[in-house]
Structure 1
Amino acid sequence: MDLYTPSADSGLFNLLGKLFALGRAVDATRTGNVWTKRQALEAVLDLAPQLQTAIISHDAWDAAGAALHNQIVAAAQSLIRRYIEEKNFTYRTLNQALEVIRSDLVAGGYYFTASTKSLTVTPGAANQGDALIAVSDRNGYGEPVWIYPETINLKSDGTRLTVSGARASTLGRGDRNWPQGSGAYFTIPLASLNQSLLANPGLETTSAANTPDAWTIHTGTPGTTIVITEPEQQQIAITGNPTGGYFVLTWTDPLGKVWHTTPLGPAPTTSDIQAALRGIPGLAAVTVSGTNPFTVIFEDTPGDIAHLQVINRLTGGTNPQVTVTTTRAGDVLSYRGRSLKLVGNGSEQTTLYQPVRLSPGRVYLFFARARRSSSATGTVNFELRRSISDTALADSAGNVKVFGFIVSDPFRTGIFLPSFPVRQAG
């Protein structure tokens, strides 16, 4: 068998071309009748009789979709095997066969034009928080390869984040079906704000309204272009003087799961309600104050959270009721209860500074989280400077320690930047 024949239509790539054309036709008619495609494939196989054994039954060939494609691939691989064996070579693996064919193509002056494809990375609708996916679309020879959908699973036990992908591929990097799965599996210890090198890293502690402690506002107006968001605040009122029974508070988390508190008696204390609410995942930092009505502040709870609901089983008194009202809604764009909100006015370049002390010989990791409103534009820059009046520092390779991102990018909700190896000068 020749690599290619201009007229007889019996060369390897003549036949492969027919198979690939058939595959495209099947793609276009996955839910339709594939009888004509089966006929076309049989016509191709007439040129390679030994492949007839690949046809198990007419029913198998009549089934549209992946099963038919698998048989087309099997037929193509059989053609490649036939080509190798007719050269009096022993067929061992598809990878080795493709290497022989590649060498023959080069020797014959053949070449392939570049192929193109586009990739779209779309976050799942149920995602909560940030995700960054790195996609590779070339095999070990630098050639384009098939990319298969893969779900990256993340699970936290409160101290570690475990990342696991699809099973690792057993194929070599030269196989057209590589990678079939990243096989990614690793754990990352979770860092808390109190481990940060910054003082007041969450920008939440304030001694003056909308002015974060330990931060210097170089450019910006507190309360106007710089705002500290406040966490959700709700009020629980018990009326009717109940003497018995109980009530239960329920809360719906961001994933839509409904959680229940333990039953609360007719005359609960502040501590009773706080302990019951803190038993719900996601509400571990809530604070409760006051005495009927009780004020609930949802510290460290992201966004404009769901309203508490009540299952009322109180008895006695006069028509006892438990009423919950929202006295201050949380900010829908806040990752936690409090955060820094930058409000652009179209001209101001808002700037905040904080001093940090770095140690020689240590490598630091920069981590920040940001969300934007739908109309926000511009750029947010993070810089390492020796002082406010200096320009951004550069490392020994001349790389300036500045990281910026365009806020209009809808996927830029997480920022990870390895940076700042510090070396003792002189």
Structure 2
Amino acid sequence: MAWRRPEARVRSGGALALLALALCAPAARGRALEWYSALVSTAYVDPQTNLTVRSVSESGRFGDSSPREGAQGLLGLPDGHPEGCDPDTRFHVPAPGGRAAAPWVALVARGGCIFKDKVLVAARRNASAVVVYNEERYGNLTAAMSHAGTGNIVVIMVSYPEGRGLRELVQKGIPVKMTIGIGTRHVQELISGQSVVFVAIAFITMMVISLAWLIFYYIQRFLYTGSQFRSQSHRKETKKVIGQLPVHTVKRGEKGIDVDAENCAVCIENFKAKDVVRILPCKHIFHRTCIDPWLLDHRTCPMCKLDVIKALGYWAEPEDTQETPAPGSTPGSVSAANSSVAAPDEGRSEGSSFTASATHESAPQCGAALKDDTGENTALLGEWPADYKTLSRYQSSKEN
């Protein structure tokens, strides 16, 4: 099983954080970083009392693309629709004594078209500023206005009640002078309360998922490390046990092994002089370099499936491996796997004799043969007939 590294958990946590920020970003992008309020001062003469009525309040709001500077002039209303969206719209500006009004400020209603179109229509009529009053449904509120591309004309928004009152005065033919000044700078809050809650929930969820992944990873890593340690320890013990099996160096002309006819069932190569062979408890022989790796992984004889470790008296638990037969072995054939050699301990010299026995039984019966031969003296190799055709007769004579 392939384990993911902790860096992958960190990357997945970072991806969740970026996702949370991306979801919050649309609300933030729609708002300006800062905006300025506008001081709105009006003055007109009440026709009933002939008194000048003045009003000053910080009730306006500069548009996003408007220059932050003052402007003044008499208020003028568009002819026809109050929104002033028609490019051919003309404006009516009441002036004292009927003389021409210059400069003048356009007073238009919100809606009907985009803010940019309203401002451009008034700018073409040489208005010094444009005052947009909000819709009735918003009450006393003002809103941000996006009108990029309108030049240096001053643009502000006032509330609906204030704009309606000024409109009624102008409709009555009363000249109203408006002066616009710069108000207070306001920093726009980019994160609302809902966004804070959403980010907090996303952060907590990300932390819980990351913590769960880390706990799962380190538990699995601990189990995997323990399994590897036990496996390595088991292989070391198995290697020591395999080292107790007798070995023998093959000599040409040696009785019991025909170097030109017999072969190793693992590598399917004939035994040659000076080859070092390993002798298993079931008396099958193999090249030491071939059988040792096999026994480390499988622990059993490739021919008869005898558990070599148990046969030597070590009752370790077998590994969970799939046993596969050695290549080239066929039932009933007479080969090096069917004729076995038992060598004396490694402490003896190479010239010393070693015991052997032969059998024509099938491979699964080797385990039973091992039990029958335990504790008995086997014949020396020198007593074996060189001709394998007399093996059966030789064995029968020994048993009798």
Instruction: Considering fraction of residues, name the structure with more helix.
Output: 2
Band the TM-score falls in, shorter-chain normalisation: under 0.3
Query: Which structure would you say has the larger Rg?
Result: 2
The two structures have a TM-score, normalised by structure 1, of: 0.17
Greater RCO, CA 8 A, separation 6+: 2
